[in-house]
Structure 1
Amino acid sequence: METDIYRAPEAELQESGAEIDHEFYVVSKNKFLLLMVGTFGFYEIYWFYRNWKLYQKRHGVSMLPVMRAIFSVFFAYSLFRKLEDSNAEMDRESTWSPGWMATIYVTLTIVASITDRISTSMTEYTVLDVVSIVTLPVIVWILYRAQRVINIVCEDPDGESNAQITPANCFWLVIGLLLWSLIAIGFYEGFVGLPV
């Protein structure tokens, strides 16, 4: 056996752990829920981006994952359908309805966006101010259902390969905590009034 002592050692490199091998973005259920609720739903943009980015890498298709994440209302059905197709390829029985889930997600996202725009133009607090907060749990539930299917399709049902809270996650959770605090103060001031 000959060895060249001047040759650089060879190693297989992977991007961010085992994630590169997955078709979709694996994340543990607890981490997913913490980041979705803790960031007031802003994690959903990153979540859509990572799913589209990994799908693009795995299938070698040309797409813009950032745009698909930002405009998720136009691409949610497509992502859910691709997820269901992958689930069916593995001969697994469907445990959710991707069409209905996408329809509910898109409808609630549009309703929340419209009511947010209307309520910001008003000087008094109304029921419209509560709509975003009420729609958030349903949107989180829909994406949580999708995440459960993703973890099963990627053969990591508990999402153990992405269960740790990273420093970046902590940063976004702090931003989310500040946002939740401002929302709570705003509601308190609007409905109860701050002491003078």
Structure 2
Amino acid sequence: MNPLTATGCTLLDKRALPDDEQSGLYIVSVTKFLLLYALTAGGYVFYWSYRNWAAYKELTGAPITPLIRSVFWPFFILCLFEKVQNGLDMKGRTYFWHHETRGLLIMFLVMLSVLLSLFFNRPSDTVFVLFANLVLIACGAGMFVEAQRAINVLSDDPNGRCNSALSGTNVVWMAVGVLYMALVVYAVCIVES
């Protein structure tokens, strides 16, 4: 088996193993995940999803398109969580994270966010929608944190140490996210006044 590296973590080439025995997904520390998730207003999930599916494709040779799965991540979150749980089961690792319920709740949160924006679209609803979306993003953080912990356990790095340092690119994306959130709050304040 040839070693592969992804984000500084050594992974094994497991293409010969059945789909459900794959474990090489995107390892990241929970602290780093939360910082990037919070400071990009949840936008980090697109990149996170892409990295998980790209690592999965590289290791399995599965005929998937990681970019499509990252853009439409809510439709593929259950499948990703299923791969993680199958890997945990195959390795005999116990980690209780209720992957199906968690995936469905994440899908529900996304759907609720879209519905809020559709049904509460008057200028007077702007503050309510902004606050509601912040609450939904915070709830989503809890859902994703346990999924990341499960991925880290599956990948033999429970603390995500091999990908815990912030890179310059991470800092730039967090700055862009904070700037974006500040502009949204400013725009809401303008609408309300």
Give the TM-score taking structure 2 as reference length.
0.85
Output the CA distance in 2 between the equivalents of 1:14 and 1:106. 31
Gaps of at least 5 residues in structure 2 are 13-22
8 Å contact kept, 2:25–2:53: yes
8 Å contact kept, 1:49–1:66: yes
Correspondence for 1:182: 183
Matching of residue 155 in structure 1 with residue 146 in structure 2 = no
Shift of 1:182: 1.8
Output the CA distance in 2 between the equivalents of 1:138 and 1:124. 24
Shift of 1:60: 1.2
Correspondence for 2:114: 113
Instruction: Report which of the two structures shows the higher radius of gyration computed on alpha carbons.
Output: 1
Output the CA distance in 2 between the equivalents of 1:183 and 1:131. 14
Equivalent runs, 1:1-196 vs 2, <5 Å: 14=5, 16-18=7-9, 20-21=11-12, 23-119=24-120, 121-126=121-126, 127-190=128-191, 193=193
Output the CA distance in 1 between the equivalents of 2:56 and 2:4. 19
Shift of 1:17: 2.3
SS at 2:123 equivalent: coil
What's the % identity of the aligned pairs?
A: 27
What root-mean-square deviation, in Å, do the aligned CA atoms of Structure 1 and Structure 2 show?
Answer: 2.0
Shift of 1:41: 0.4
Gaps of at least 5 residues in structure 1 are 1-11
- How many residue pairs get aligned? The number is 180
8 Å contact kept, 1:19–1:25: no
Q: After the TM superposition, which segments of 4 or more aligned residues of structure 1 sit over 3 Å from their partners? A: 12-16, 19-22, 186-191
Give the TM-score taking structure 1 as reference length.
0.84
More strand by share: 2
